[in-house]
Amino acid sequence: MLMIFLFLLAGGLLGLYTIRWYEPGIQFSYRELTIAATCVIGGEVLYCGSPIPASMPLGMVMGLLCSCTVTDALRSWLPLPLTLPLLAASAWYVRVYQPWLLIPGLIWAVIWSVFYGVRYLLYRYKNGNEDECPGSGDILLAGAAGLCCHVFSGLVLTLAITGHQLWGTLRHHHIAPFGPWLAVSVAVQLLYF
């Protein structure tokens, strides 16, 4: 459990450091630090009730999901330096612990990535701006979700959409980030299904 906690803590700090890297000189507010701490503590609470034993691939996936959640929740963007390692760690996790599901996982990763890629292109074509459309980080996060969740993709998508809609409704945001909810749904699927 300590290893998972350290990976989650490192993931939260990596998310904050990534924001600072892209926005030099920024001072984080108390609210932003609270959101980052909530992501770390929430990941640890999720893991405490899980029957899955701690391992290096699981820790890396959980830590990178935490860093993606922090950056997307605070700035609504997912940089490639976070999502590419997440995709690699997801492949490593599936290869080590579920090798019989590697091919279906890769197929689902392609399906999710193509779906998000088409959504990205259609949004760019329709609106012409890239401020509010999903970017390449969202596409890679969707690929990692498809790789990890394979058979449970419907459950993960339902959880993510429900959380996204509730968050947008409660916070009165017309456009709330979808990535944090997708990352949390993937974490729930990895730990409990």
- What residues contact 178, with CB distance under 8 A and at least 6 apart? 134, 138, 160, 164
- Nearest-angstrom CA–CA distance, 57 and 64: 11
Residue 119 or 12, more confident: 12
Q: What is the DSSP letter of 178?
A: S
What is the pTM assigned to this prediction?
0.92
Domain ranges in the chain are: 2-192
Tokens of 137: 């980080």
What does the pLDDT look like over 151-167, one tens digit per residue? 888 889 899 989 888 88
Answer yes or no: are the C-beta atoms of 95 and 102 closer than 8 Å.
yes
What 3-state class would DSSP assign to 193? coil
